[in-house]
Amino acid sequence: MLKPVLIGMGLLISSVAFAGGKTITYEVEGEKYEGYFVEGKQKDAPLVVLMHDWDGLTEYEVQRAHMLADLGYSVFAADMFGAGIRPTKVEDRRQHTGELYTDREKMRALAEGAIKTAKSEGANTDNAVAMGYCFGGAVVLEMARAGLDLDGFATFHGGLKTPKGQNYSATKGELLVLHGTADAAIPMSQFAELATELESTGISHEMITYSGAPHAFTVFDGRNYREDADVKSWQRFTEFLTKVTNQ
């Protein structure tokens, strides 16, 4: 279980008991997946499609989903690995992420499948943003390059490198990139390369770094958690959501 966490403005978030969310079993290309859906309190609430990091859809993403629901959004936390697959060993995490890094068409199909599933649950996919953590951040940028019709794409300490043969020419929404300057997994050289690419393509974007923040700086119970960077990045993300969804 994640511990209760103090995050900004004295707000206490506990993952012990969440109300209102549900696990959704769905299929993509004949394989079963298990996502998590929280419906917004208002009709036609904007949708946030949440992509998990390399250990799969866990209680961390569920907690973030409910934090967003409390702000008035519907949230669909996608499953990129498959029903029941929540790897705990590093080698298994590398295997599952590696399979998708080398099969970008499947990665895109899974992202599209998550959006379609959210729509089938009544979510407002016409007013939607994708966001992701670590591996999930790389998925979000893949969604942007694929030209998925979303209002925005946000990544927290995610993979930033553009695969060979890809570009952002089809991107429709705005980009928000939140990154730690001390990230040893995703170096600042990739951050700079992405900034140059987005500028040359003319994509509306904002990219922010946080001093002293290592990889996975938002993961509450992780050894790399940095409260200052987490609070600041979450605040900027919620402002971004308000802007692009007209919430």
Structure confidence at residue 140 (pLDDT) = 98
Exposure b/e, 126-150, CB count within 10 A at least 16 = b: ebbbbbbbbbbbbbbbbbbbbebeb
Number of domains in the chain: 1
- CATH number for the domain harbouring residue 134: 3.40.50.1820
Count how many Cα atoms sit within 13 Å of the Cα of residue 198 in the half-sphere of its side chain.
24
Q: Which domain holds residue 123?
A: 35-245
Structure confidence at residue 83 (pLDDT) = 96
Structure confidence at residue 70 (pLDDT) = 95
Structure confidence at residue 13 (pLDDT) = 34
Give the ranges where 85-222 is alpha helix by DSSP (H): 90-101, 104-120, 135-145, 188-201
Structure confidence at residue 247 (pLDDT) = 79
Q: Is residue 26 part of a domain?
A: no
Beta bridge partners of 230: none
Q: Is residue 30 part of a domain?
A: no
Structure confidence at residue 14 (pLDDT) = 33
Q: Is residue 64 part of a domain?
A: yes
Whole-angstrom distance, CA of residue 76 vs CA of residue 22: 10
- Residues 62-73 pLDDT 10s: 999 999 999 999
Q: Is residue 2 part of a domain?
A: no
Q: 203: which residues sit within 8 A by CB, 6+ positions away?
A: 168, 171, 174, 175
Q: Is residue 137 part of a domain?
A: yes
Q: Is residue 1 part of a domain?
A: no
Whole-structure pTM value: 0.92
Contact assessment for residue 168 and residue 203, using Cβ atoms and an 8 Å cutoff: yes
Residuewise pLDDT in 10s, the chain (247 residues): 343 333 332 222 333 346 689 999 999 999 999 999 999 989 899 999 999 999 999 999 999 999 999 999 999 999 999 999 999 999 999 999 999 999 999 999 999 999 999 999 999 999 999 999 999 999 999 999 999 999 999 999 999 999 999 999 999 999 999 999 999 999 999 999 999 999 999 999 999 999 999 999 999 989 999 999 999 999 999 999 999 999 7
Beta bridge partners of 130: 49, 153
DSSP state for residue 167 in the 8-state scheme:
-
Structure confidence at residue 109 (pLDDT) = 98
Determine the 3-state secondary structure of 92 from DSSP. Answer: helix
Count how many Cα atoms sit within 13 Å of the Cα of residue 206 in the half-sphere of its side chain.
14
Q: Is residue 4 part of a domain?
A: no
Q: Is residue 225 part of a domain?
A: yes
Structure confidence at residue 10 (pLDDT) = 28
